[in-house]
Every structure is written in C-alpha cells, then in structure tokens.
Amino acid sequence: MKVVVTIQHPGHVHFFKHAIAELEGRGHEVFVFARENEVTADLLERYDIDYEMLAGTYDSLPTLVAVQATYEARLLARVLRIRPDVITAIGGPAATHAAKVVGARSVVFYDTEHATIIKKLAYPFADAIYTPECYRDEIGPKQVRYPGYHELAYLHPDRFEPDPGVLAENGIDPDRKLAIVRFSGWDSSHDMGQGGFDDPSEVVSRLEDAGARVLITSEVDLPPDLEPYRLTTDPAGMHDLLYYADVFVGEGATTAAEAALLGTPAVYVNTLTMGYIDDIEERGLLFGYDGPDRHEQGLKRAIEIVEDDDPERWSRSRDRAIEGMIDVTDVIVAALEGAGMERGRRAEPADAVDART
C-alpha cells in the first residue's frame, strides 16, 4: 500500500510519527509532504522522517492563500506521480482534493470545531473523518469517533517516557517551581480576530514573583525584556519539559492539552474553546479562561497552582482522566490500512468515492 501523509504544523509531526514508523515496518510505502510552519522541518529531521517541503511560511491571510495554493498544486503534482492508495492529513483540504483527483482514499483527522474554512474545504471531499468522542459537531456517515485526543497518539503512556536529562540541558533546578509559558500567533485562518493575554510581560513577572522559573515558547516575536526567557531547547524535548513543569500557562490549545495529559496542570487563556479543551477541563486537568477578564483570572489560577503544596495530585488526576482512553496511533494505523484495503477492492480509480456518501 502507498500512503501519502501531509504535514502543515509541528503538532502534525508528533501525531503521525509513530504511525509512519509502524506502517513502514509493515511493508507499506509512506511519502511525507510538508508545509513549513515554525519547527516542522526540525522535528521531521529529528525523528529521521524522510520528507519533501512543498511550501514555506505565511504571516497574513493573503500570504496564507498564496502559500496554500502553491502547496496544493505541488502536492497534486506529487500524488499524480506516486498514485497512492491513501492520503491522510489533519484537516487537510489539499489532501482531500488531491485524493479525489487521483482516486485515492482520503482519511482526515480533526478536533477543531471552529475552523470553519478548513471544514468547508476538506470535509465534503473526505472519505472518512476521524474525531475524538468529545468533538461537538455531528458530521454524518463519514464521521468515526474514538475515545481519545490527538495528543494521545504520542503522549499515551505506551508511547511516551520522559527524559529527566532535559532539566540539566536547560539549566533547570529541579527543586524550584517551573512554569512553561506559550504565546500564540493569531494568523491561522481559524485564529484571526481572537486573543489571549493582555500583557505578556506581566504574565512572566507575576509568575516569577510567585517563585517560579519561567521559560517561554512563542509563535511570535517577543518584546526585548522577554527574549532572555525564550526556550532554545531541541523541539523534540518540549514534551519532556512539559512533563517536569509545575504549570503550563498559555494561549495554545494543543500545548495546553499536551501538558494536561502529561499530568501538568494547564491554564489556557484564549477566546476560543473546543470540545477537547472542555472535556479535559471537566476531568480537572485544565483551567480555561475566555472572557474579558481572562488575563487576570488566568494569572490568578496559575499563581495558585505554583503555590500549591500538593503537586502530586495532578498526576493522580491525570491517571484517572486517561483511564479508558486508547492509544490513538492504533486508530491512525487501523484507519489507513482499512482505507487501503477498501481502495484495493475497487477496480477503477474513478470509483474511489466512499459508498456511504
């Protein structure tokens, strides 16, 4: 079976990395095509994944449109040559469009309800759409729900083992409280017009006043006074740092979910919320603030966590929360192999349309 995996974000590398290895181990041919975004290329190389970068970054809606058009055209040219059985993506308008042209099956994974543009461009062309059980939208016969979150494709206990060496590598005193702070960019199609913290400098100063060492990861340029706090570690070590941190404070939903599922309490400050964020919050691992007072309320909660004298309770909460959750890599592999088998049963590429649609 030939499988094309498309990558548009660093998180997609984590999501697919184990599935890529397992599929190749089972004798399938896997082709990875990417669009540059933050540290995507660094992660692909770090995990020794062969790939081709088809398009660069963007910094506004007009440049996003141009980059996406370039990416989609180049992806189509590659799949016309490869003639894959299955094309997969997170969201993935380009993947679903290319699949229709070449008669491949398209398998989409998604968890972001408010990404209206992506859903309108991708869902009508997808053959199967896999979502967490907590996904709010009802998509129809194409939808397959599973008990888990995207992040459990790489942070499930069967997949992730923290490396304590990351503390020494970053000069972190294990006896001092550690806060990981993330500031997001707002140029994605589903993020424009949204917001998080009012004053990044105040976030850092108040966490420090509470006794925490602060490290920042950011999608945007930082003011000069915050640049010394920027985390410069190997991107592949980010999850180790989240595991050993005492609190995560940030505007990014994916990183907030990652921290929570590693047993680190997460304070999520963003006007946007999603089904999986609400679900994790209900399990007591995440605290979300999206109102006009989100900056102050989020900081207040973060400081309370830093000053908490029973940090082990978060690990206990995490163990209870993921009980019954599955290794999502198993879902990915089964979905792609199943789609490949269905594709193989069809005699003509032109017939490669999901029978359920």
Can you tell me the distance from the alpha carbon of 304 to that of 323, in angstroms, rounded to the nearest whole number?
A: 27
What pLDDT shows up at residue 190? 44
Name the β-bridge partners of 178.
213
| pLDDT greater at residue 136 or residue 353 | 136
pLDDT bracket for residue 347 (50, 70, 90): very low
CA distances, 282 to each of 151, 253, 286, 287, 321 (Å): 17, 15, 8, 9, 9
pLDDT > 50? residue 353: no
The mean pLDDT value for 192-200 works out to 72
Beta strands in the chain (DSSP E): 2-7, 29-35, 52-55, 86-90, 105-109, 128-132, 143-146, 178-183, 213-218, 247-250, 266-269, 286-289
Supply 306's token pair.
């830093």
Percent of the chain whose pLDDT exceeds 70: 92
DSSP letter string over 228-259?
Answer: GGB--S-GGGHHHHHHH-SEEEES-HHHHHHH
CATH architecture of structural domain 165-321:
3-Layer(aba) Sandwich (3.40)
The CB density around residue 120, as the number of other CB atoms within 10 Å, is 10
Is it true that 2-156+326-351 and 165-321 share their CATH fold?
Answer: yes
What fold, for 2-156+326-351?
A: Rossmann fold (3.40.50)
Residue 187 has pLDDT above 60, yes or no: no
Q: Are 266 and 285 in contact (CB under 8 A)?
A: yes
Whole-angstrom distance, CA of residue 197 vs CA of residue 343: 47
- Residue 184 pLDDT class (50, 70, 90 cuts): confident
> Per this entry, what is the length of the chain?
357
Chain segment 105-123, per-residue pLDDT in tens: 999 999 999 999 999 999 9
Q: Give the lowest-confidence range in 194-198, 343-347, 348-352.
A: 348-352
Reported as a pLDDT band with limits 50, 70 and 90, residue 191 is very low
Q: What is d(CA 334, CA 118) in angstroms, rounded to the nearest whole number?
A: 24
- How many other C-beta atoms can be found within 10 angstroms of the C-beta atom of residue 124? 12
Confidence of residue 343 (pLDDT cuts 50, 70, 90): confident
**pLDDT given at position 60:** 67
pLDDT of residue 173: 95
Q: Using one digit for the tens of pLDDT, what is the confidence trace for 270-314? A: 988 899 999 999 999 999 999 999 999 999 999 999 999 887 889
What secondary structure letter does DSSP report for 230? B
Across all residues in the chain, what is the average pLDDT? 91
Name the residue ranges covered by the structural domains of the chain. Answer: 2-156+326-351, 165-321
- pLDDT band of residue 195 (cuts 50, 70, 90) is low
How confident is residue 233, by pLDDT bands cut at 50, 70 and 90? Answer: confident
Report pLDDT digits (tens) over 38-84: 889 999 999 999 999 998 777 666 777 888 899 999 999 999 999 99
φ, ψ dihedrals at 322, nearest 5°: -95, 0
Q: How confident is the model at residue 345 (pLDDT cuts 50, 70, 90)?
A: low
**Which tokens hold the place of 61?**
């809606």
* Closest-CA residue to 108 (of 77, 76, 86, 133): 86
